[in-house]
Chain A
Amino acid sequence: MPTHAEIYQKVAETLCESLNVDPEEVRPEATLQGDLGAESIDFLDIVFRLERNFGIKIPRGELFPESIFQGDPKFVQDGRVTEAGIQELRNRLPFADVDKFAKDPQLSKIGDLFTVEMVTRYVETKLNGTHK
Chain B
Amino acid sequence: MRWMWIDRFLEFTSRKSAKAVKNLSRAEDVFRDHFPGWPVMPASLILEGLAQTGGILVGEANDFREKVVLAKINKARFHREALAGEQLTYSVELLDLRPEGATISGMVHSGNDLVAEAEIMFAHLDQSRSQQVFGEQNFVFSGDLRKLLGLAKLLKS
Instruction: Answer yes or no: do A and B interact.
Output: yes
| Pairwise interchain contact A48-B99, C-beta atoms closer than 8 A | no
| Pairwise interchain contact A44-B121, C-beta atoms closer than 8 A | yes
Interface string of A1-32 (1 = CB under 8 A from B): 00000000000000001100000000000000
- Provided the pairs A41-B71, A45-B72 are in contact, do residues A60 and B100 lie with their beta carbons within 8 angstroms? yes
Check: A42 CB closer than 8 A to any chain B CB: yes
Give the A interface residue count (CB, 8 A).
Answer: 11
Within the complex, the shortest CB–CB distance from A57 to chain B, in Å, comes to 10
- What residues of chain B lie closer than 8 Å to A45, measured between beta carbons? 71-72, 74, 103, 121
- Provided the pairs A41-B121, A44-B101, A44-B121 are in contact, do residues A52 and B72 lie with their beta carbons within 8 angstroms? no
Check: B96 CB closer than 8 A to any chain A CB: yes
| Pairwise interchain contact B96-A48, C-beta atoms closer than 8 A | yes
Give the B interface residue count (CB, 8 A).
Answer: 12
Within the complex, the shortest CB–CB distance from B152 to chain A, in Å, comes to 28
How far apart sit A41 and B74, CA to CA, in the bound complex (Å)?
Answer: 11
Q: Name the interface residues of B90-136: CB closer than 8 Å to any CB of A.
A: 95-96, 98-101, 103, 121, 123
- What residues of chain A lie closer than 8 Å to B95, measured between beta carbons? 48, 52
Check: A51 CB closer than 8 A to any chain B CB: yes
| Interface residues of chain B: helix, strand, loop or mixed (majority) | strand
Q: Which chain A residue lies CB-closest to B100?
A: A44
B residues sitting closer than 8 Å to A (CB atoms) are 71-72, 74, 95-96, 98-101, 103, 121, 123
How far apart sit A61 and B82, CA to CA, in the bound complex (Å)?
Answer: 42
| Pairwise interchain contact A48-B98, C-beta atoms closer than 8 A | yes
Q: Which chain B residue lies CB-closest to A64?
A: B100
How far apart sit A39 and B114, CA to CA, in the bound complex (Å)?
Answer: 32
Check: A76 CB closer than 8 A to any chain B CB: no
Within the complex, the shortest CB–CB distance from B95 to chain A, in Å, comes to 7
| Pairwise interchain contact B96-A51, C-beta atoms closer than 8 A | yes
| Pairwise interchain contact B72-A42, C-beta atoms closer than 8 A | yes
How far apart sit A47 and B97, CA to CA, in the bound complex (Å)?
Answer: 11
- What residues of chain A lie closer than 8 Å to B121, measured between beta carbons? 41, 44-45, 48
Interface string of A48-92 (1 = CB under 8 A from B): 100110000000100000000000000000000000000000000
- Beyond A42-B72, A48-B96: 10 further Cβ-contacts under 8 Å? A17-B74, A41-B71, A41-B72, A41-B121, A44-B123, A45-B72, A48-B95, A52-B95, A52-B96, A60-B100
Within the complex, the shortest CB–CB distance from A66 to chain B, in Å, comes to 9
How far apart sit A51 and B100, CA to CA, in the bound complex (Å)?
Answer: 14
How far apart sit A18 and B75, CA to CA, in the bound complex (Å)?
Answer: 10
How far apart sit A45 and B98, CA to CA, in the bound complex (Å)?
Answer: 11
